[in-house]
Chain A
Amino acid sequence: MSRRVSALALGLLWASGCVQVQEEVRVERGPTLRTWDTEVRLGRPQLRAEVAPRWPALELRVFRDDTCRAETREEYAEERTVERSARGTGPALALGSVGTIAGAGLLVGAQAMSDAPNRDVMDAEGRHGPSQRQLAQGWGWGALVAGVPALVVALVGQRQSGTTTESTVQQSVVSEREYPCHGARVDGLLRLESLQAPFELRTSEGAVLLSGVQVAGLGEAPLVLDGQPVTLPQPEEDKVVDFRACLTVLPLPPLERLAALSAAQLDTRRELASACARRVPEGGAAEEVYTAALEAKLGADRDVAPPAGPSLLEFDDVLHALQPKRLAARGTADALALQQFAVPAGEPLRLMGRVERRMAVELFSVRVGERRGVYVPGDKAPLPGESEGSERAEFVVLSVGEVEVTVWVPAWAGWDAVLRPGAYVELVARPVDVFDAGGTARPALLEGLAARAVVSVEPEGATPPPGPPPPGPSGRR
């Protein structure tokens, strides 16, 4: 009995192997069941700085943020329909049923046929021809041998064919966004490796107060806290830029000095004061003062002829008089030497570059022993020697190819018009000794002597003053 069952199982297995069932899967999305928001904390801590003006200082706060991902997920129904079909089922069923029925019929009918051999035939072995019963049985078995497996294959194929539908609930992420999160103030040693105003300050509750000089170096070099980089997002950088504008226009100069400024200078300062007013309340008052001074100046200029101002000839005069041997322009060795302070103090040189920005810094004239120079005060750093007076000095930062240099522009008449940010200029300058807090001097600052615009830029939104055109694109100390 068990042998028969095994044989039947083997037969079915064989038949199922012969059946080629094709499967077609169709997935249909159903209605959305619900939508919800989740927050996934990814870690990846990063340091970020925020600034807040505390005039005359700038408060810088350092945060350690994690990275989070906000996801909007939805749940929806999904129907998965599987259609299975056996391609040969129809022909197999036809062959199998006909073969089986015919075979069975012949086997049954053979019993009623004659068993007498066919004596009209005798083969080479000396045997008569088969009887009618023998022939019927032979054909019957043949039909069964062909028909039964085909019928089994057809039945198995039919059993495996059909359509099943399965309904499931699926989830998917509709949208995702990464953002800093779980920010917490962090303390440590904050360092800025700026050439101009490096500092090293320890934060207290994540915050430090930066002086105007220290602010000048922000953005010039990477800011790090305990060796980890601190990023300054764009909105915070904008605040720093506006704060630098305050350093230029505040505090307000005495009235007599204000009156001595040209209309172009007053216009530039009014713009800077306007930028300053966005962050510092005192900036608003400064803007009003510069606006009033500009209007007064323009009124007075209508009645008197404009001063002749510096001319191209004067720049050439300076160039001719000093005859600088060095030329610092894009790709020159002198530009690199300038960056490495390898140009001796007092040696004149020609500079060609692009004006990046302007700023104002408190500057002291200092004498240390026999040497004279300037001192840029750092945070609470003592003066190295005897101070001979201080002034709020104006600087332009010039890019000479890949090198960036800072040029001190003592109060020239008309320098505002020439040294506008974005203008390509040519300068005659010479290194000045700058003393550090230890009293060591190095030629780290350039003193501008004369300048002329190679390609000038117009101030944005500026209306040209009435009367003759402004002084020529050159200035002189």
Chain B
Amino acid sequence: MRRLAPLLVLSLSCAGPAADDAAVCQDLVSRLCAQPVCESVTQTLAPGDACSEELLRRTGCGNVDFQFSTPSRARFLECRAPLLRVSERVDVHPACEDVGDALSACPDLVAFLRGRSP
């Protein structure tokens, strides 16, 4: 195993450690609420002016010990994937078209973001 360490380092050097569930959820909220907020978010989720605070409140992601139950972490990541088409960086605004795709394809995610179970 020690002999394979350099290769392992090479393969892992492109990615860091897995983020916890709260960080993953907060990442999604920040992408959805990036200013200007896309119309699909406004129509579907109606977060109001304080978008991030409202969605964090509804989902409970603001808590450090937040953990996914429904939807699961894997389902959550799957629904989040369209938002990364433009960039994986958090501070880059996703395309509103991608945002619309993500919300329309994942009613369970919409339900989660509305603060109730799907």
* B26: nearest chain-A partner, CB-CB: A122
Within 8 A of A (CB), among B1-48: 6, 9-10, 12-19, 23-24, 27
User: Does the CB pair A126–B9 fall under 8 Å?
Assistant: no
Stretch at the interface among B49-57, B84-92, B93-101, B102-110: B84-92
Contact of A123 among B9, B12, B88, B91 (CB under 8 A): B88
How many Å lie between the Cα of A139 and that of B14 in the bound state? 10
Write the nearest CB–CB distance from B59 to chain A, whole angstroms: 16
User: Does the CB pair A118–B81 fall under 8 Å?
Assistant: no
Contacts of B27 in A (CB 8 A): 122
How many Å lie between the Cα of A121 and that of B19 in the bound state? 10
User: Does the CB pair A141–B77 fall under 8 Å?
Assistant: no
User: Does the CB pair B12–A134 fall under 8 Å?
Assistant: yes
User: Does the CB pair A141–B19 fall under 8 Å?
Assistant: no
User: Does the CB pair B13–A120 fall under 8 Å?
Assistant: no
User: Does the CB pair A124–B84 fall under 8 Å?
Assistant: yes
Contacts of A135 in B (CB 8 A): 13
Interface string of A71-92 (1 = CB under 8 A from B): 0000000000000000000000
Question: Are A123 and B17 also in contact (CB < 8 A) when A138-B9, A141-B9 are?
Answer: no
Within 8 A of A (CB), among B60-87: 73, 77, 80-81, 84
Q: Is A128 an interface residue (CB 8 A)?
A: yes
User: Does the CB pair B90–A130 fall under 8 Å?
Assistant: no
Contacts of B10 in A (CB 8 A): 138, 141-142
B interface with A by C-beta (< 8 Å): 6, 9-10, 12-19, 23-24, 27, 73, 77, 80-81, 84, 88-91
8 new A-B pairs (CB below 8 Å) besides A117-B16, A120-B91, A127-B15? A123-B88, A125-B77, A128-B15, A128-B16, A129-B88, A130-B15, A141-B6, A142-B10
Can you give 20 contacting A-B residue pairs, CB < 8 Å?
Answer: A117-B16, A119-B90, A120-B89, A121-B89, A122-B23, A122-B27, A124-B77, A125-B18, A125-B77, A126-B18, A126-B19, A126-B73, A128-B15, A130-B15, A135-B13, A137-B13, A138-B9, A138-B10, A139-B13, A145-B6
| 5 nearest A-B pairs in the assembled complex, by CB-CB distance | A138-B13, A117-B16, A128-B16, A127-B15, A141-B6
A interface with B by C-beta (< 8 Å): 117-131, 134-135, 137-139, 141-142, 144-145
